[in-house]
Structure 1
Amino acid sequence: MEDSELAKIRQARLEQLKAQGGDPGGGGAGPKLGGGGGGQDPAQQRQQAEAEARQSMLNQILQPEAADRLGRIRLVKEQRATEVENRLIMLAQSGQLRAKVTEDQLKELLNAVADNKEEEKIVVSRRKGWDDDDDDDLFDL
């Protein structure tokens, strides 16, 4: 049952990509586009299939409000959104998620990721330069 739904989603996404212009590499390579959508190399097809499977899993994990928030976060900080998505998928695969993630739970997860980032910050302390005004009293003339 889920396989047929996934196949329908993939087909709809493929049609959507064809309607948008097809080849993301573009550049006017006419012969490369010759066969329609079948001209993609296997690595691109695999990457697209993985992205669709990932999005499908996230749709099953997140409530709509949480998915919207994660989408807005992706616009600002793509790396942080990817980290949160990876953590959510890992939690779902390990069976630690009992229900769909709410927006409040997503906020808590974002704060946890932000706390980890703060611990990794590097503080640079610079030595005083030669032009420091405090040392002027050493040279009484």
Structure 2
Amino acid sequence: MSTVDTDDCVDVQVTDCDRETADTVFRALRRAFPRGTEEVEGTGAGSGASRGNGRVVWSLVVNTGSGDPDAIGPPEDSSGLGETVEAVLYGTVPPVRRVRKALETAFATEERGTVPGEHEVEVRLRLSGRATPD
């Protein structure tokens, strides 16, 4: 888990997916916070770092100081995500809530757990595409 630089930043890690699926998640966050996303050197958006268990972790830091999580809507394609992925959000509570809200607007979400800390919180979500109307 990396440490974010400011109180407005949230570290977002996506696993259990390929690069294209991670990019779909990160594009949704960039639409919500257009001037507030930054690649993390070595594990930034578009690159992955392999953990000891063989899982690839895609990572992005989102600065929630600007943007509107309500304004993004669902992703451009009809299903959003081709597969179900795990997302871990880490930061102080208000910014994590904003990133979570943006992800809930864009994708179907299921909470998989929350770990409170003294000043930060970690939230685990399962993201999937929304069902398309027939």
Give the TM bin, normalised by the shorter chain. Answer: under 0.3
Q: TM-score with structure 2 length normalisation? A: 0.28
Q: TM-score with structure 1 length normalisation? A: 0.27
Structure number with greater Rg is: 1
Q: From the two aligned structures, give the one with the greater helix fraction.
A: 1
Q: Which protein, 1 or 2, shows the higher relative CO under an 8 Å CA cutoff with sep ≥ 6?
A: 2
Q: From the two aligned structures, give the one with the greater strand fraction.
A: 2
